[in-house]
Amino acid sequence: MPKVGMKPLRQHQLIEATLLSVERHGLMGTTISTIAQLAGVSTGIINHYFGGKQGLLAATVRFLLQSLHDELMKELRQINPEDSVARLRAIIKANFAQIQTSDKASKTWLAFWSQAMHDPEFSALQQVNERRLLSNLRFSFRRLLPKERVEEAAQTTAALIDGLWLRMALSTHPISVADSGNYCMAYVQGVIRQSQTQANVTHKTLGTRRHD
């Protein structure tokens, strides 16, 4: 009879082995055998818990998504919930956290994004990831920008996060985590300042017209 609590421990062990296998062998080179060898278990254990390689790969991606969510919640607990700029900084920081930028995670994300173009299950997970990021960005920008600027700001910030993360993962001279976060925040602060300047100009213009 299996020990109580063994299932989640074994599943986590297999997910960690999957991340390591993808790092070492790539997605195509990762097999049930390579994962089982790294985890120190029989191949039958993988089939028992996940139904095979595809199920384990999907579980590994869900693990990365949950880790990203947990990291964001941790960052948000440390700020004033009414401070929308701090909230945007927390979103950016979470996306460049160590769990998301390590070699194991980076190579798995890259393999996942490539596979998402052809695999409906991975595509659905990617859409969850995209919707979650954009929803969080829109929520914060709505408190800072006119409604007609919110979508553009959210989409551009999301593209900066993804693009800088990709540069970090692929470049032989990658941008640092700190610089990546700073570049994203520079855009965020710039678009907020621009909006505030335009609002002030409009306010002054209207005031002048009223006095005329």
Q: What angle is formed at CA 56 by the lines to CA 50 and CA 61, rounded to 5 degrees? A: 135
The number of folded domains in the chain is 1
| Residue 3 pLDDT exceeds 90 | no
**CA 193 from chain center: how many Å?**
26
Does residue 72 sit within a domain?
Answer: yes
Does residue 106 sit within a domain?
Answer: yes
Does residue 1 sit within a domain?
Answer: no
Does residue 89 sit within a domain?
Answer: yes
Q: Which amino acid is at 184?
A: C
Cβ-based neighbours of 146, under 8 Å, separated by 6 or more: 195, 199
Does residue 101 sit within a domain?
Answer: yes
Residues 208 and 189: their CA atoms lie apart, in Å, by 29
Round the average pLDDT of the chain to a whole number and report it.
89
Q: Which domain holds residue 104?
A: 58-211
Q: Calculate Rg over the CA atoms of the chain.
A: 22
Average pLDDT over residues 47-71: 93
The CATH number assigned to the domain holding 132 equals 1.10.357.10
Does residue 190 sit within a domain?
Answer: yes
| Residue 211 pLDDT exceeds 60 | no
User: What's the pLDDT at 7?
Assistant: 80
| Residue 1 pLDDT exceeds 50 | no
| Residue 204 pLDDT exceeds 60 | no
Does residue 113 sit within a domain?
Answer: yes
Neighbours of 175 (CB within 10 A): 15
Does residue 3 sit within a domain?
Answer: no
| Residue 175 pLDDT exceeds 90 | no
At 50, list the tokens.
Answer: 């996940």
| Residue 52 pLDDT exceeds 60 | yes
| Residue 4 pLDDT exceeds 80 | no
User: What's the pLDDT at 201?
Assistant: 59
